[in-house]
Structure 1
Amino acid sequence: MTVILFDKTGGFLTRQSRMITKVIESKVSDLTEGERLTIFKLDDREYKGLSLPLFDKCLPQSEETVNELIENKHMIAKTFNESFMADLYSITESLTEKGDANSSPIMESLADISSLYGINKKLRLKNIILISDLLQHSDDFSFYNNSSIKLDSQKLSLVPDFFGVDVEIYWLLREGREKTIQNTGVLEWWENVFITSEANEFKVRKIR
């Protein structure tokens, strides 16, 4: 299964929103029939940093795989477009709107994901897609309050277990003060986190 985690605390520029929509479409095309896609956002009101699932569905059959001798192509296409893609577009649109938040508990939300899927062994987590500016800000620790970013023992206790999971980050680049903080080694810090988490693969794409 694939999990997409949205960090909407800093909002999205119009061009970033368009690009994120294309990213989601691309990820859907990578899914196999019956594979599960779940979308969360950062939210410290439910767990330590994670919302309840905003979207949680298995990919239905698409019209490309229809056997027209025994299946109704029109009905299958309607199910795919209305019950899956329409809901997905609606969620994506709401998540790319600017959000007001006092915290950005990225590390805590990743730890929540690790715990949730570690408990349920029937759900095999294959991919995590994080859409974020990577600017951690929570009661545990904040990049806004520290001139130097270090992965010390306190933060190590929060590192999730992503053994064998592929992690892909779409890094939302900011301006002003946030840009200055992003240039202080933030990406290298997160790369160290995911190496420590034993993720199978770690990729980053910058979203300007």
Structure 2
Amino acid sequence: MKTVPLGMSCLLLLMGCQTVPDRLPQAEPAPAASCYFPIGASTTVAVTTPDALAQDVLTQSVAVLEAWGFELVSTDTRLGLVSASRQRDLIGYYDPYDNAYGYGQGMRVFGGIGLGRGGSSVGLGIGGGFGGGVGQQPVEVERVSLFVNDGYVRISRDIRRFDHLRDLRESYSASNEDFCQRFQAALLPISGESAL
């Protein structure tokens, strides 16, 4: 009988411990119901064709986003897609992961004492956080995507926060009730004007 080396036994044991995720990744929290809404009123649909109404809503959506300080990233009017983003500095932003292990703030001091045959030695090291990121602020990037199709508008929004070294620190879905209702309310007066 052949013997299996200890390293191979451990490898086989670890391979048996692999697990498969119980679900696919999804947006959390889930988008609010108000982020999916119909465009136009029944009177508006009677006046214009669905394609013209969709183009009108796309144009008005771009106007609303630009009025709110967003910059267009990409648009595809054939598909009914608009993507925009805006960025702002986070003054006084506290990075919850910065001091997770006792590091990250202030000066770092390392030292040690060694005893040996015929003498002793003492060592001390001092390091600071110099280099990349000096004078840069943490930033928040907010991205919004709009999809207009079959008489409905779907809004997707996410927020990402980067530290002063531009490392991603937080990211979450922000398709919430407040933003989507404000966006829908900003489109309503414009849609009403196109019906006249």
Shared fold, TM over 0.5 = no
Which is richer in strand?
A: 2
Greater C-alpha Rg: 2
Q: TM-score, normalised by structure 2?
A: 0.23
Q: Structure 1 or 2: larger helix share?
A: 1
Higher relative contact order (CA 8 A, sep 6+): 2
Q: Normalization by structure 1: what TM-score?
A: 0.22
